[in-house]
Amino acid sequence: MPLAPGSKAPDFALETDTAPVSLAALKGKTVVLYFYPKDDTPGCTNEAKDFSALKSEFDKAGAVVIGASKDTVAKHAKFRAKYDLTIPLGSDPDAQVIEAYESWVQKVLYGREYMGIDRATFLIDGSGVIRRIWRKVKVKGHAEEVLAAAKAL
């Protein structure tokens, strides 16, 4: 059965450049888990900067924001330093978490089909239940929309 609002969120554990993050360790907190294709590309950079800019607002709402991609922990560390990003970025090199969240999808670019990460965001409540899912995210205004949804929980 595909993931949908009301589904139990798949557990995850990801390495970051600061400390490991896991859904189990965040029990009781609202979690915003977003998947993005690649560090240091225009859309992904803007999305990470937007979430970072709103980190204090997410903190006030009791929400933890975690970005995740297949990039390595070392690449995430450089990306965070380059743009002063304040949110943790999880490394999922084998795409296990990405696949568990149904965000490893077939894509088409210039007629060429390939597998890649669907830019998607999951809002998970303190009980580990998915409350909102955004698929095929358009970056502009997205962090603000997710913040409003997190505040409404």
Kindly list the structural domains of the chain, giving each domain's residue range(s) and its CATH number in brackets, ordered by start: 13-152 (3.40.30.10)
Amino acid at 104: W
Which residues are catalytic, by number? 44
The closest of 66, 46, 36 to 141, measured between CA atoms, is: 46
At 98, list the tokens: 């990405």
Residue 81: enclosing H or E segment and its boundaries?
helix 73-83
Residues 117/106, Cβ–Cβ less than 8 Å:
no
Each residue's pLDDT tens digit, 114-150: 999 999 999 999 999 999 999 999 999 999 999 999 9
Residue 7's H or E segment, with its range, is: none
C-alpha 138/C-alpha 81 separation (Å) is 24
Write out pLDDT tens, residues 17-61.
999 999 999 999 999 999 999 999 999 999 999 999 999 999 999
